[in-house]
Structures are given as C-alpha cells and as structure tokens.
Structure 1
Amino acid sequence: MFLKIVNLLFFPVAYVICRYNEYKYRRIDLFDYIKLSHFPNVYPRIPLFTLNEGYGNAKAVRNLSPYGFNPFIDYLEHGMIFSESVNSLDGISVWKLKMIRRYYTFSEYRKECILKWLLKKGIEPTCIVVGPYILGTKILLSDEKMKGVRRQLGKVLLVFPAHSLKYLKNEYKIDYLLSEIEKIKFQFDSILICLHLYDIQSGYAQIYEKQGYKVVTNGHTEDPNFLARQRTLIELSTVTMGNSLGTHIGYSIALKRPHYYFKQTITTKFLGDGHTNKLEYESIENEKKEELSQVFFKEFGHLSFKITKRQIDLVERYWGNLDCNNN
C-alpha cells in the first residue's frame, strides 16, 4: 500500500520524465539496436494495471477506440494470445477487476475468452474490440526519410526470430534458421533481423551480424515508441519472416506485408523460481500454438510476395478486423 501511495505521488514527475524519454528515444537511429535496447527505468508505475504501461500499446488503443483509453481505469491485453487463457487478468483481485471501466483486446475471439472468464467471477464487463493495435500507431520517420532508407535497403526481408522474456528463454536451432535465410536471401537486397532486448543481451546479435545481416530491435518494452518502431520496420520491409507464432504475423498482414512462417521447434526454459502462474500459462499457450502451427504453416509456410484471402481470414480471427481508418 505504501508503495502505491508513493507511486501516485511520484506519477506527475515520472510522467514528465517519461514523455522526455519518449521524445529522446524517438530520435535515436532506427538501426542503433544497442541504445534502443536500453530504456531509463523511470516509467510511472500505474497503481492498478501494470500491463497497460508497456510497448506503447495504450497510445495505440487510444487512437483506435471511439471511447479513448484511460490506463488507470481501463485494461488492455498487451499481446496476441492464441489459447483461451486470460493469465494477465488472473493475477488481479476481483475488487480491482470490478473497478475496470472497459477491457480492450484485438478480436471477437479474445473478447469471448475474456467475457467467459469474467462472467464466471460474477463480473459483467464492457469489452471493446479494436483490431491490430499497430494500426493505431504512426511510423517514426518522415516520408522523405522513409524514401531514403528504402532506397538504401532495397527489397527487405525482415526476420522475427522467437524471442525470450525476462522470466523465460526461448531456444531454437539457430543454424537451421540461418540456413533457411541463406536459401532465400538472393531474392532480397537486405536482411534485417529484429531481436528482443533479452536476446540481444544473450549475444544473438553477434551471431546474425557474422552472417552479414543487419540487426534491429523494436526497442525496450517500456519504450512508448516500441509499437511505432515496429510499424516503421515492417513498413520498410518487403516480406517478413518468423520461426514461431506471434503478434508479428498479424501485424505484418495488417500492414500489407506478406509473411513467411518457417516452422521450427522452440524450446521454452524458465529462469529461476517464483513463476508458477506464468509457467502454467506458457504451457497452455505453447500447447495451443503447437496445435495451430500446422494451420498457420498451411497458409504461411512458403515464401510469397502476395497475401491471400485465406491468410487474411485466419489473421482476422485472432487479430481482429484489418480495416482501420488509421491504417
């Protein structure tokens, strides 16, 4: 309780500092992944619903929702969840859940999952579907700079390898992924590898750089520019590629970039103790991803420069409607 009171008192100062850091990090070179993978840990702690803080999602959802978004009394799912799990809500007490004004998520599928779980708790919520959050962002570069970078890079393959988190490490046979990239790289002028900050810290960047690829990052999870930077990178690409199911697939299709799903075994290892709830969630989610991997592989399992109607239908089930005025 004391910590929450301190957070509330400190919030105005922290908010100003955060806005300054947002401005500062927006101007860091898009390809300086070292600087972008660090972010000052001064972000204002939101007393009730901490998942609202990260990735710049709140700003994007505010732009997409006709009702706006208030991080103190509204709640959003921070990333794509393929299973029916509502792990992010499970750790919040019932009285706090009842205080939430509106729940925001991607799709009707996720809305049904949230409503079903909350109704069992005796809560009748208002749940708003906004589609892919990335459509609520703007690219970080000016039109002139985007044209200049596009001329420099040419045709771009943007790769999203499976990424780790603070409490878990996702491992895969990197040589297998590299060999596949090598097979198709002749169709592109530049290969960009988008790494999460924890994988940069684990030394993956050097492995990819030795192959002659350019490493980039969406940034630190607490950087409000994270989602806008991801949009900028995707819009610079010609095709995106990944070796796991993740939010990047729907975001690529939403931004009209074809995606190539290179199906690969991902091994999840938990780091340390005290993550029983997260372990249970990841197990459920990974089981669902394994079930869906063949479905996505059927539609996205080959390199193509076109997006099909079947791909759009599959993405819209999980990410929501791709038509957006902010597109």
Structure 2
Amino acid sequence: DTKPDIIYAFGIRRKLFLEQMFKEKHIYSLGPYIQYVDSMYSPKELKTIKARLGKTLLVFHSHSTPHIRAQFEVNEFIQEIDRIKNTKNFQSVLVCMYWKDILNGLDEKFLKAGYKICTAGHMFDKNFLRRLKSIILLADVAIGNDIGTHLGYCIAVGRPYYLYLKLPDYVDFDNNGDFLEFNNDFFKQLLNRGVECFGCYKEYISDDDIKFVEEYWGKWKK
C-alpha cells in the first residue's frame, strides 16, 4: 500500500511475466517467501508433535477464496490419498485447508475419511507463513491435486511433493468472467512442467524438482 510502484515476485519467470504486464512498475524476485520466516513451533515442539503423528502425509487441495469456489472430485482424491497412505505406510494424514473451504463444509469429507484438519489461517495474518512452515515441517511427503504456492514451499523446506493433478471447476461469485484466463499460457506451461517433475510419487527431491522450483519460485538457501 505504501509503495504501489513495487511488486515482489517469486522467481525470474514470474518477474519477467509481470514486467510485461505492468511496465510502469518495479518488479523484484525474492525467491520462496517461506524461507524468510521461522516455524511457529520450536525444533523441540516439532519433534514432540512428530513423534505423536508418526510418518505423515500432508494434503493440499485446490482451495476456494472469498470470491470463487473450487469444486473437484473429493471422493476420487480421497481414494488416491488412501492408496498412498496404505501402500507407503503412513500413520497420519494432515489436510491443510483454507478457512473458506472449512466454512463451505469441505472438511467434513476429509474428517470422515479419518484425516486430521489443520490450517495456516488467513493469508493476510502476519503468522500465516509461520504456521504453514510448521505444518510442512511436520510432514514426510506432501500431495496435492493442483499447483499452488505450497508446492514450491514444500520443496524449499525439504519435503517431497506428489502432484495428483485434477484441475477443479470454479464458481465465480463476482461474475468476473475472464479471471481464470488471466496469464493462461503461463499456467499451462507451469502445469505441464509440474506434471513432468511431480506426477509420479517419490519420497525424495530430485535435481529436476529443484531446477523447476528455482525457475518459477526462485532460489533459496539450502
């Protein structure tokens, strides 16, 4: 608000894209924002919680916002989560949910499946990223059905990610008909690359994974 001529972005690809969109603004690449915050929990607290959870699968799903509602095949996603949980011997499943989807009642299906619900809170809360970092640190592997900022954050924090890509349908409450077409080509390429790197389940982070995240989210201290 105080410096409207400046935009902070993740990686160089996003910086270059935004420079074409907003030629009058100064764009800076900062890398994954999560590298600049500490966990809400101390290492000792994380260790205590992790001991209780055991091997943990962390779930990120396509989420709604105050303006749009994300709709996807929840039962199909749960089947894939259960498959991974059972074949890879996970003891706990955490589902990180945005507050809007909890208000929409989406948590009920995940709770019924025996999963635990957690949230980083509101994205404008000053502790949002600190909570999110704590949640990611509790996981051994993360799974998601869409590409979001969380993917880059997981890799930057050192947690492998599995992309079970099932793009959602969106209900646009504001009737802003072209909002989903905004920078469409950019996201098509992002999705294709994401599937190449993360479309198969694995419990390690490859060099290609890091290269992909550095290209779109920027570099971070390793």
> Does structure 2 retain, via aligned residues, the 8 Å contact 1:245–1:289?
no
The answer as to 2:165 corresponding to 1:263 is: yes
CA deviations 1:150-208 (Å, max 9, x no partner) are: 10011110000110011111110011101001111122111001111111011111111
- The TM-score normalised by the length of structure 1 is 0.64
The answer as to 2:211 corresponding to 1:307 is: no
- The TM-score normalised by the length of structure 2 is 0.92
Instruction: Give the CA RMSD over aligned residues.
Output: 1.7
* Structure-to-structure mapping, 1:57-96, within 5 angstroms: 72-73=2-3
User: Aligned to 2:178, what secondary structure does the other structure show?
Assistant: helix
Give, in whole Å, the separation in 1 of the partners of 2:112 and 2:215.
Answer: 39
Moved more, 288-297 or 198-207: 288-297
User: Aligned to 2:159, what secondary structure does the other structure show?
Assistant: coil
Structure 2 counterpart of 1:202: 104
CA deviations 1:227-254 (Å, max 9, x no partner) are: 1100000011000110001101100000
Give, in whole Å, the separation in 1 of the partners of 2:217 and 2:56.
Answer: 24
> Does structure 2 retain, via aligned residues, the 8 Å contact 1:193–1:215?
yes
User: Aligned to 1:322, what secondary structure does the other structure show?
Assistant: coil
Give, in whole Å, the separation in 1 of the partners of 2:7 and 2:190.
Answer: 26
Matched positions, count: 220
Structure 1 counterpart of 2:130: 228
Query: Larger strand proportion, structure 1 or 2?
Result: 2
Mark the CA change 1:203 to 1:185 in structure 2 (over 3 Å): closer, same or farther.
Answer: same
Structure 1 counterpart of 2:68: 168
Query: Larger helix proportion, structure 1 or 2?
Result: 1
Q: Name the structure, 1 or 2, with higher relative contact order (CA <8 Å, separation 6+).
A: 2
Structure 1 counterpart of 2:57: 157
> Does structure 2 retain, via aligned residues, the 8 Å contact 1:154–1:189?
yes
Structure 2 counterpart of 1:145: 45
Give the Å deviation of 1:104. Answer: 1.7
Letter paired with 1:282: L
Higher alpha-carbon Rg? 1
Give the Å deviation of 1:127. Answer: 2.8
Structure 2 runs not aligned, ≥5 long? none
The answer as to 2:141 corresponding to 1:243 is: no
Give the Å deviation of 1:118. Answer: 3.1
CA deviations 1:90-114 (Å, max 9, x no partner) are: xxxxxxx5xx3x4321111122122
CA deviations 1:74-125 (Å, max 9, x no partner) are: xxxxxxxxxxxxxxxxxxxxxxx5xx3x432111112212223333xxx3x4
> Does structure 1 retain, via aligned residues, the 8 Å contact 2:58–2:139?
yes
User: Aligned to 2:200, what secondary structure does the other structure show?
Assistant: coil
Give, in whole Å, the separation in 2 of the partners of 1:221 and 1:128.
Answer: 21
Shift >3 Å, 4+ stretches: 285-292
Give the Å deviation of 1:321. Answer: 0.6
Mark the CA change 1:115 to 1:284 in structure 2 (over 3 Å): closer, same or farther.
Answer: closer
Structure 2 counterpart of 1:322: 220
Give the Å deviation of 1:288. Answer: 4.4
The answer as to 2:25 corresponding to 1:118 is: no
Give the Å deviation of 1:290. Answer: 4.2
User: Aligned to 1:215, what secondary structure does the other structure show?
Assistant: strand
Give the Å deviation of 1:261. Answer: 0.1
Q: Name the % identity.
A: 31
Structure 1 runs not aligned, ≥5 long? 1-48, 50-71, 74-96
Give, in whole Å, the separation in 2 of the partners of 1:113 and 1:294.
Answer: 18
